[in-house]
A = this chain, B = another copy of it.
Amino acid sequence: MTDNEEIIKTLLDFRNERDWEQFHNPKDLALAINVEAGELLELFLWKNAEDANKETVKEELADIFAFAFLLADKYGFDVKKIILDKIKTNGEKYPVDKAKGTAKKYTEL
């Protein structure tokens, strides 16, 4: 079993033991990712970029990953593949010679 297969299996076992699949439609999973992303963001609010509490970041980030893996599973996406594919697409939107050293959006390059 790969890392990601093990993660998904553990998440699905957890969900199924609690009979929670009924709640996990794609829209609510997307909501859950946003809720957790907001909780992560709160750890940085009014703070310098490096001053969030590392342990709490770890927990909120894990929650984001969990719902993201569950949503990926819902659509049958292979997480490694969709990330590597997206990096390739981004490489075309952000060619090195134009994007190097600038934070501009591709629409402004």
Q: Which residues of A contact B (CB under 8 A)?
A: 2-4, 6-7, 10-11, 14, 17-20, 22-23, 25-28, 30-35, 37-50, 52, 54, 57-59, 61-66, 68-69, 71-72, 75, 77, 79-80, 82-87, 89-91, 94, 96, 99-101, 103
B61 touches A82 (CB 8 A): yes
A60 to chain B, nearest CB (A): 9
Taking chain A's interface residues, is the majority helix, strand, or loop, or is none over half, making it mixed?
helix
Q: How many copies does the complex hold?
A: 4
Q: How far is the CA of A47 from the CA of B33 in the complex (A)?
A: 15
Contact of B89 with A59 in the complex, beta carbons under 8 Å: yes
CB pair A83 B49 closer than 8 Å:
no
- Given the contacts A68-B64, A69-B83, A96-B18, A41 and B35 also touching, CB distance less than 8 Å: yes
Taking the closest CB of chain B, its distance from the CB of A35, in whole angstroms, is 5
- The reply to whether B62 and A65 form a contact with Cβ atoms under 8 Å apart is no
Q: How far is the CA of A72 from the CA of B68 in the complex (A)?
A: 14
Q: Is the CB of A87 within 8 A of B14?
A: yes
Q: Which residues of B contact A47 (CB under 8 A)?
A: 27, 103
